[in-house]
Amino acid sequence: MNILITGIHGFVGTNLVSALKQHHALYGLDIVFPKKEGVAKTYTWHDFEPQSYPMQKLPQFDAIIHLAGKAHDTKNQSQTQVYFDINTGLTQKIFDFFLESNTKKFIFFSSVKAAADSVAGNMLTEDVIPIPVGPYGESKIRAEEYIRQHLSKEKQVYILRPCMIHGPGNKGNLNLLYNVVKKGIPWPLGDFENRRSFTSIDNLCYVLEGLLTRDVASGIYHMGDDEAMSTNELIETMCEVMGKNAHIWRMNRKFMEGCAGLGTLLHLPLNTERLRKLTENYVVSNAKIKKALDIEKMPFTAKEGLVKTIRSFLDSGKI
């Protein structure tokens, strides 16, 4: 297949190239243009302006994977409009190109944060009525809405909502926890037994290969590993890979909640909202995507994926 991947030089794009380059011809669309093995050419967004191309100058793409986007800024330093300009605006631009072209498949990387900032009940499924909180989730759901309003019966369109993705080259929240653990700083929230879903990059690449090569119905699909993990299990696994002892303090839950409440009043780093984020459950169902691909389980367990990620941190010299 000829596949166009936007954001091809990012974390997910780089891993996806490694997974797909043996069997497909890959083209990029990005704001940076380093040479990459397996990528025939990287185009600019200007090349995809309607007035900039006659169609025949671009390859005939069989599928488009739209990864490019503004990632969630955990420090809340990004301006709101930037999210909508990139996450919504670029999605509209590349989807319009898809509709005008002969390309048959379009995969849009949204996020579970487009559906819900917090999970009500035991598990987040595709049936949830989206209630995003903040510009990241709101800009993603706006992009989803645009796609759904312009669907074509002759084409297959997939809106993929992964939860936290990790793997070699990852630069997200998992790195922050890793840096705390590698310094031997005790984790004081061991009394909170939360469960969270993650997406290992290998499972994600497997699902994308399936969507590209199989006849899967268009729709919204949540993406995550089969097993949810607690923060305590994450820390224990990290320490296991690093050969360290896990320092998990099970401070009294009520005491920590009281400290967080005081932190809210005094504007300290640990406040009620941050404590909720660190300890809440966020379990995502992957039942629909597995049924669509006719598989019983993902090829890698959540722990296997995490071990590979932590080993990649070690190999990169981050410890």
Listed in sequence order, the residues at least 6 apart from 54 whose beta carbon sits closer than 8 Å to its beta carbon are none
pLDDT at 51 over 90: no
The predicted-structure confidence for 132-175, as pLDDT tens digits, reads as follows 999 999 999 999 999 999 998 899 999 999 999 999 888 777 88
Q: Average pLDDT for residues 263-278, to the nearest whole number?
A: 86
Q: Which of 103, 124, 81 is nearest to 221 (CA)?
A: 124
Which CB contacts under 8 angstroms, 24+ apart, belong to 175-183?
A: 175/313, 175/318, 176/74, 177/231, 177/234, 177/235, 177/238, 178/238, 178/310, 178/313, 178/318, 179/318, 181/235, 181/238, 181/239, 181/242, 181/244, 181/246, 182/238, 182/242, 182/244, 182/318, 182/319
pLDDT at 260 over 50: yes
Least confident of 126-140, 173-187, 223-237: 173-187
In a domain, 72, yes or no: yes
In a domain, 127, yes or no: yes
Provide the percentage of residues in the chain whose pLDDT is more than 70: 95
In a domain, 187, yes or no: no
The predicted-structure confidence for 89-116, as pLDDT tens digits, reads as follows 999 999 999 999 999 999 999 999 999 9
pLDDT at 204 over 90: yes
Q: Average pLDDT for residues 239-264, to the nearest whole number?
A: 92
In a domain, 256, yes or no: no
The predicted-structure confidence for 306-317, as pLDDT tens digits, reads as follows 999 999 988 876
In a domain, 278, yes or no: no
Q: How many domains does the chain have?
A: 1
In a domain, 254, yes or no: no
Least confident of 59-63, 75-79, 146-150: 75-79
Mean residue pLDDT across the chain: 91
Q: Could you tell me the pLDDT band of residue 6, with boundaries at 50, 70 and 90?
A: very high
Q: Which amino acid is residue 314, in one-letter code?
A: L
Q: Average pLDDT for residues 268-273, to the nearest whole number?
A: 84
Rounded to whole angstroms, the Cα distance separating 141 from 132 reads: 7
Q: Which of 53, 52, 48 is nearest to 68 (CA)?
A: 48
Look up the domain containing 102 and give its range: 2-166+197-226+283-300
Rounded to whole angstroms, the Cα distance separating 151 from 313 reads: 41
In a domain, 152, yes or no: yes
pLDDT at 52: 61
The CATH code of the domain that includes 87 is 3.40.50.720
pLDDT at 242: 92
In a domain, 242, yes or no: no
pLDDT at 319: 47
